[in-house]
Structure 1
């Protein structure tokens, strides 16, 4: 990790609120697919721990996908289907957000779905200690039913021209975001941007087009 990136991530880590009493703190890392959410969230979790916040739980919304039958019920190429049907938000709330929320049980499940086998999972409950910091990465984390859940939220701002290039290197997809094979995903995310303006809803907007030199663009007052 570059020294510049380390400084920026530590600045974000220092903005994670202290828990109230035995309560927990919920942190979101949002951004387009390929913006670097998972890596940023991993580094943020490590930075929070390094600051003396000993218990951090990492969860990815990608582990709460709907089954293929639900994800593609509007068609395999449908942008609206990608925006509306990708994730099981009810299960995510029940297994993650509610347990870590105010007055929550702290009894949670970190996963609910296996992509490789298209199988719904029901793993044993885990119990987080009081004061746990929950760090979640995922698409669409500032949509209406989720935006109020976060004690701190970050949006990684990266143009689709760059995210498509990264996804091509990672997944073998087409590097042109305007290619027809990318329409479901890129247009689906544009619909999210138009409907929810996550760049404005996030507490911190970070330009992450250069992963070695991310830049804090805007920070809302605490």
Structure 2
């Protein structure tokens, strides 16, 4: 007689949101990746899933910060508009990134957060984060790492995407956009030329001319106005050539 088959028991989740958190594909990369199943079951009722269409706002600059958000899918831009009505896009956030962390300190949001694509986020209310960081030291460390990463991203954006020759800035932006694709050769979101202007501190005409040029050179293939396939070998070689020319 053969031994009976052993079937491993699965965690028993009594709430759909707790199960969703446990099975989420980005959980191990996201803020709550350090939490076990028991902790997820405890907090399930306080986490909300929010879906945004392109152009919808997640929160506004100077709005009282009540929650942070983990991006589950899509791309979110953080932007500010000055008193003269000039818009600057400060950085982009994608899958597993956390935005709105200033809410943890009771501060107002420092920028507008706007969906660039269809976006899905999980809302993490401030009082829940306060409670969890008291009881879960690993979570507090993870939050500090994420805050540092957001600062590093902002510094990189300033040094790599807002300085130097315009063509190199566009190439570096395309390389950055490739990070938001889940798979190689997957089409990426392509910003409108006005958005490129606000990201890269260049005119709309310059952004349009350079994108058209890179299409002809085989660096990207556009699919309509808002998505493109990046040909990474060509992109990386063109960027290397651009760096060599700049250093010559």
TM-score of Structure 1 vs Structure 2, range by shorter chain: under 0.3
Which fold has the larger relative contact order, with Cα–Cα distance below 8 Å and residues 6 or more apart in sequence? 1
Choose between structure 1 and 2: higher helix proportion. 2
Structure with bigger gyration radius: 2
